[in-house]
A = this chain, B = another copy of it.
Amino acid sequence: MAKNAFYAQSGGVTAVINASACGVIETARKHSDKIGTVYAGRNGIIGALAEDLIDTSLESDADIAALRHTPSGGFGSCRFKLKGLEESKAEYERLIEVFKAHDIGYFFYNGGGDSADTCYKISQLSEKMGYPIQAIHVPKTVDNDLPITDTCPGFGSVAKYIAVSTLEASFDVRSMAKTSTKIFVLEVMGRHAGWIAAAGGLVEDQGIPVVILFPEVEFDKEKFMAKVKAKVEEHGFCTIVVSEGAHWPDGKFLAEQGTRDAFGHAQLGGAAPVVANMVKDELGLKFHWAVADYLQRAARHLASKTDVEQAYAVGKAGVEFAISGDNAIMPAIERISNDPFEWKIGKAALSEVANVEKMMPMDFISDDGFGITDACKEYLLPLIQGEDYPPYKNGLPDYVTLKNISIDKKLPAFEV
């Protein structure tokens, strides 16, 4: 008889992680001879530990299809990392109990680097703890830092959002620069890598002066001010894209500028206001600043069509690989060509994915450290191609909220 499957979303959500969920569930439904019910963990792996399993078979085909155009994690996600098999033995044993109780033979884990590591450990349960399960990691992360795969679903849509927002705000400040705002600072995500910040550089071809502050490049205030000054002299205005991970040579984030509130507490600021005020103090230029935060990774209204398609494809391929007997693998996106952009889904061994972080190549950053190179543009541009608008109802996107009904528990409670 067909084994059931477990699917969970892990870590920070994205505009397209639900498209992967859609790919997993729709594909499983097509192969009901091989896969029984897909149970989703409520709030990720915590749902498995707590035996809080959502019965996705109770969701209509239309609602599952609507996941493709709905941002966020439809089943809830969590920040929870399982440790090694020895250290977290009780948790792994609990997982096996839950899987056994609900006849689960497939484990689909939709996440980033930490999740790949967890998924790899689950894949070894078969061998190490005698429970037969196939574990497939479905890649997702706006950080774009998983190895082997050309990109990580979720990143392309953030890149598109940041590029479009940078373009639009730059047009705005260009209009205002004669008598008012001359500097616009946009803070973007990326504590360790500048992938997202790099996307701001894609607007340079439209004549927009952009200065990027990458986490990969130690902040040099003097050089930065000279660069901004030169851009303003040439163009009359300048846009600055600052990664939240931009930092001083001593490693201190720009956001931690020693600012104190009325009670003397260190103020959790944001890099954008710090940079903006710095430019005002040094160059006397009027500024505006924005912090995109969750807006950037939730912006399904502006998703990259390429990204949506890839997100769906890795979910679909995950199920197909599982059916064909694979274990301990991750569907990986392989770029075939840039122009025309072609790609296919390959297969990466989790042993080579777990605990490996892909950094941005240094030849993607221009020599002065404030911009991106042609090689970077060639890499990024295909990832933001195409629009994939959600349907709208009464002026707002018609996103789905699932029923998310849990199945009856069979086991005693477990303290997560």
Could you tell me which A residues sit within 8 Å of B by CB distance? 9, 12-13, 15, 43-44, 46, 70-74, 76-80, 160, 163-165, 167-169, 171-180, 184, 186, 202-203, 206-207, 257-262, 267-270, 272-273, 276-277, 288-295, 297-302, 304, 381, 384-387, 389, 392, 394-397, 399, 401
Which one of B163, B291, B396 lies within 8 Å of A395 (CB-CB)? B163
Contact A168 B298 (CB under 8 A): yes
If A267-B273, A273-B267, A295-B168 touch, whether A73 touches B175 (CB-CB below 8 Å) is: yes
Contact B301 A168 (CB under 8 A): yes
Contact B302 A172 (CB under 8 A): no
Contacts of A171 in B (CB 8 A): 70-72, 298, 399
Which one of B272, B277, B396 lies within 8 Å of A384 (CB-CB)? B396
Contacts of A300 in B (CB 8 A): 168
In the bound complex, how far is the Cα of B387 from the Cα of A396, in angstroms?
A: 9
Which one of B79, B269, B392 lies within 8 Å of A180 (CB-CB)? B79
In the bound complex, how far is the Cα of B276 from the Cα of A13, in angstroms?
A: 21
If A258-B262, A267-B267 touch, whether A172 touches B395 (CB-CB below 8 Å) is: no
Contact A179 B46 (CB under 8 A): yes
In the bound complex, how far is the Cα of B77 from the Cα of A397, in angstroms?
A: 32
Contact A396 B172 (CB under 8 A): no
Contact A164 B301 (CB under 8 A): yes
In the bound complex, how far is the Cα of B160 from the Cα of A401, in angstroms?
A: 20
